[in-house]
Amino acid sequence: MTHGSLGVPQGAALTLGAVLGTGVISLPALAAHEAGPASLVAWLVLVLLSVPLATTFAALGARHPDGGGVSTYVRRAFGAGPATVIGWCFYFAIPLGAPAAAGFAGAYVADSAGGGRQTQLLTAGALIATVAVMNWFGVRVSGRVQLFIAAALALLLMVATLVSLPHATTDHLTPFAPHGWAAVGSAAALLVWAFAGWEVVTSLSGDYRNPERDIGRATAIALVVMAVLYLGIAFATVAVLGPDTGKAPLSDLLVLGFGEPARGATTVVAVLLSLGAMNAYFAGSARLGAALGRDGSLPLWFARGSTAGEVPRHSLLVVTAGSLGTLAAVALVDVPLEKTMWLVTGAFTIVYLAGTAAAMKLLPRRTWVWRGAVVSFVATLGLLAFTGQYLLPQLVVALAAVAWTTHQGRRVRRAGGSAALVPAGPEDWP
């Protein structure tokens, strides 16, 4: 099998970028308001639950490296129909969610530079275009840029934690659970979105030079760095800022160490966070779309670039055009950019549920990675209880995917039951 050019450092950076989302800017404060110092328990529990989830997807990627990611695993475990549904749910969710991620950074730029909503929209458009250009030149270029972004981001978050810790006081840790222990569950529901992203990197598994060896190493590095940064920022937010935490705790922590001029660094962090997360998701979703085209789950036009090492530019164009189209629609109807994020929350839960279910069937039974998949599946069922109300967009997409699958099945039957509809290689692409 042909593999790509990703090494461990670039792979770890792409993984970290996908997981370390923009929520780190505000979620520590929101969780602290919800549960007080006991919110640290929620952070710790979710970090621990990330271990089996991340290792599950890493094990799948190492054993079955392919651009289809979770869709490929579902195809192997349950067949083409469910794979098409899961692939569509994830692929078409990215263009809906990208403007929200870009808009978060745009809001910080607007606060620093002025211009209000217009600046936010222009910044969001510029970020979408930047990420598209990065991925147009391939995952090697995208991975190198991501490595720089991850290093700069880790340094900024670590500095914010370290310079603020001398101001920590145990007084801010009592009472530990002022709103009761049930509030820890509510805080965990808020924080779940800070831990999404492990699934997107499976679509890049075929781009690793040595998937069987390197995916596990890259995932382990990303897990450790993520755990240190998240727990450090969460503890500093509670122990340093106390109950009067503002909406931008990272900015407040930097100001304690370097003074008011450091507040502008929060804008830099917000832009890097958005750019890193969007880069990973664009890279993974573009690769997924090409694989879906290759496997007959999307029109054949999407399949160009589905081979490891090639650039899936057709699929990338669709993701980019969809993201810019969503941004334009939001601008026209004058609703907050962040609203589009609610349209995709259910998609990620469905993808996790299907991916862990496939892992339980594909991974060697009674092994540690199989047991991790079982734990992840049960945990995702719990997550579904919090996201069920946001599944309507995915229901519409799923119905469209079923209609496509039915249409393709009829074409195959009219062709005499042959497999000619699935491209055999690049020579079959238009």
Residue ranges per structural domain of the chain: 8-66+91-340
CA atoms within 13 A on the CB side of 325: 10
The CATH code belonging to domain 8-66+91-340 is 1.20.1740.10
CB distance 23 to 194 below 8 Å? yes
Q: What number of residues does the chain have? A: 430
pLDDT tens, residue by residue, 347-391 = 778 888 899 999 999 999 989 989 999 998 998 887 777 666 677
Contact 153, 276 (CB under 8 A): yes
Average of per-residue pLDDT across 59-88:
87
Per 3-state DSSP, the chain is made up of helix, strand and coil in percentages (nearest 5) of 80, 0, 20
Cα–Cα distance, 420 to 6 (Å, whole number): 32
**How far, in Å, CA of 209 to CA of 1, rounded?**
11
pLDDT digits (tens, 9 = 90+) for 209-226: 888 888 888 889 989 988
Mean pLDDT of 219-247: 84
**Nearest residue to 325 (alpha-carbon basis) of 95, 93, 91:** 95
Name 6's bridge partners: 208
**H or E segment at 85?**
helix 80-91
In terms of pLDDT, which residue wins out, 79 or 20?
Answer: 79
Q: Is the predicted pLDDT of residue 142 greater than 50, yes or no?
A: yes
- Reported as type and span, the H/E element at residue 29 is helix 27-35
Residue 410, pLDDT > 80, answer no
Output the CA torsion sign for 316, 317, 319, 323.
Answer: positive
Measured distance CA(49)–CA(379) in Å, rounded: 8
Looking at 257-271, 276-290, 412-426, which range is the least confident one? 412-426
d(CA 287, CA 425): 16
What does pTM read for this prediction?
Answer: 0.77
